[in-house]
Structure 1
Amino acid sequence: MGGNTIDWRLIERHWRDLMQVALSISQGRLSSAALMRRLRSNSRKNRVYKVFRKVGRSVRTVALLRYLADPALRIRVTAATNKVESYNGFAQWLGFGNNGVLADNDPAEQEKLIKLNTLLANLVVFHNALDIADVVRGLVAEGWTITPADLGALSPYLRAHITRFGAYATDELAVTPEAFNPVLAEVDFDVDLAA
């Protein structure tokens, strides 16, 4: 069979092998890393490798067909992709030193830089979320009606208020912040957004 066709007979012949591998991984007897090493060794001739490739192609084909046939799924996938891209762009903007280039070839140092950048991004997102919650509470106190859809349109990836190279006030370090209340009781989240 050609490279673009799924060989269902091959999958059927080696279904037991596939299930053995899946059970070994789920029971912790085989790590996914060990499996990848085994499959990589002489992978072109490895029958399990070939079967996994065929199954992977069939799964990708089904997923693609579902994506093409379901407009709601496309909207969800696009929204999720946009959120991830927004976060990545935000984190990259925060990691401005050396234009985001990991100049060290040491994997431990590279991992440390990536984790620190992720920590910084998460801290700024958390701070932005606190600020957004304060503003929402203020608007509700003024009589505005805030819906879950309104909140869903907000993004915690705000940057305009961040001065990366500016003067930083240290006199506020002694100010104790108010206790954080994570619940926005002022917003009715029971409203059915699908309607």
Structure 2
Amino acid sequence: MHADTQGQSYPVFALAHLLGFDLMPRIRNWKDSVFYRPSKQAEYEHIDALFGEPGKNVINWDLIESQFRHLMRVAVSVREGAISSSALLKRLRSGSKKNATCTAFREVGRVIRTVQLLRDLSDAPLRRRVTAATNKVESFNRFSRWIGFGNRGVIADNDPVEQEKAMKFNALLTNAVIFHNALDIAEIVRQLLEKGWTIEPEDLAHISPYLTEHINRFGEYSTHELGIQPEAYDPKLDVDFTPLREQDPTAAGFGQAA
């Protein structure tokens, strides 16, 4: 499971791990990353400087063990739909440090995040794979925002049901356009193959279905009538106003108010 830099908080790492997901976000600002030691005595010959001062940034395993049942109960609740993951993460982010379960979630997240940071440092192909996957997600999100141009993409309705409808309709329309683009690309490739061109898989890998240049979001309007010369304006009306002048203004309803 991939995410951008904003998706690598400690609670997110903890919840993903408890639900059985391997969270591999793209990580920026490495200089601000904190590595946690498994114990105060743990020292590393070549990378000890990453963990800060000796004896600092140590994982509290006792807390994790004491709260393990609560952690698993929360994870099962999310998996079974008793509580949404977004609501849980919001509660964990704003949770008090005196709450043992919230603190244990952050502690588990520190463990998993430290492991992921070490994996990223030691595995260059993994970093490239994560970057490529994250770029695809960001491209899809940009394309989705481009499709949902109405009201600049802002969902103004406060009703959660209507908000969910807007998001699902936007996702449906986005995927429909992507599918249409994929069909067009496939047809063009077939035409090139029929003409004798050689198309390699590496060539197709550089083609994105998030194409927008050929899409008119605002529709088409007929303008052929713009060239028709209108008739000259005649200010005179062929109407006899004499009967109106002979009427009593008061009776006609045009008199002054008393």
TM over 0.5: yes
Q: In the alignment, what sits opposite 1:145?
A: 198
Contact in 2 for aligned 1:94/1:117 (Cα 8 Å)? yes
Letter in 1 for 2:122: A
Equivalent residue in structure 2 for 1:134, among 176, 187, 202: 187
Return closer, same or farther for 1:56/1:42 CA change in 2, 3 Å cut-off: closer
Contact in 1 for aligned 2:144/2:171 (Cα 8 Å)? yes
Shift of 1:165: 2.1
Aligned counterparts of 1:42 and 1:3: Cα–Cα separation in 2 = 24
Aligned counterparts of 1:150 and 1:168: Cα–Cα separation in 2 = 37
Letter in 1 for 2:73: V
Q: In the alignment, what sits opposite 2:225?
A: none
Q: In the alignment, what sits opposite 2:66?
A: 14
Shift of 1:49: 2.8
Shift of 1:63: 0.8
Shift of 1:164: 1.5
Equivalent residue in structure 2 for 1:165, among 218, 229, 232: 218
Aligned-residue sequence identity (percent) comes to 53
Shift of 1:55: 1.0
Aligned to 1:159, the other structure's residue is in SS state coil
Aligned to 1:157, the other structure's residue is in SS state coil
Structure 2 unmatched ranges of 5 or more: 1-39, 41-54, 223-258
Aligned counterparts of 1:72 and 1:112: Cα–Cα separation in 2 = 39
Q: In the alignment, what sits opposite 1:118?
A: 171
Aligned counterparts of 2:78 and 2:145: Cα–Cα separation in 1 = 36
Letter in 2 for 1:53: R
Return closer, same or farther for 1:91/1:154 CA change in 2, 3 Å cut-off: same
Question: Does residue 1:67 correspond to 2:120, yes or no?
Answer: yes
**What does 1:1-195 correspond to in 2, within 5 Å?**
4-11=57-64, 13-14=65-66, 17=69, 21=73, 31-33=82-84, 36=88, 43-167=96-220
Aligned counterparts of 1:14 and 1:122: Cα–Cα separation in 2 = 46
Aligned counterparts of 1:44 and 1:107: Cα–Cα separation in 2 = 30
Figure out how many residues of one structure are paired with residues of the other and give that number: 166
Q: Which has more helix, going by share of residues? A: 1
The normalised TM-score by structure 1 is 0.71
Return closer, same or farther for 1:3/1:109 CA change in 2, 3 Å cut-off: farther
Letter in 2 for 1:151: L
Shift of 1:111: 1.2
Which deviations, in whole Å up to 9, do the C-alpha atoms of 1:127-169 show, x marking residues without a partner? Answer: 0000000011111111122122111111000000011224179
Letter in 2 for 1:14: S
Aligned counterparts of 2:84 and 2:176: Cα–Cα separation in 1 = 32
Shift of 1:110: 1.4
Letter in 1 for 2:206: A
The normalised TM-score by structure 2 is 0.55
Q: In the alignment, what sits opposite 2:25?
A: none
Tell me which moved more, 40-49 or 102-111.
40-49
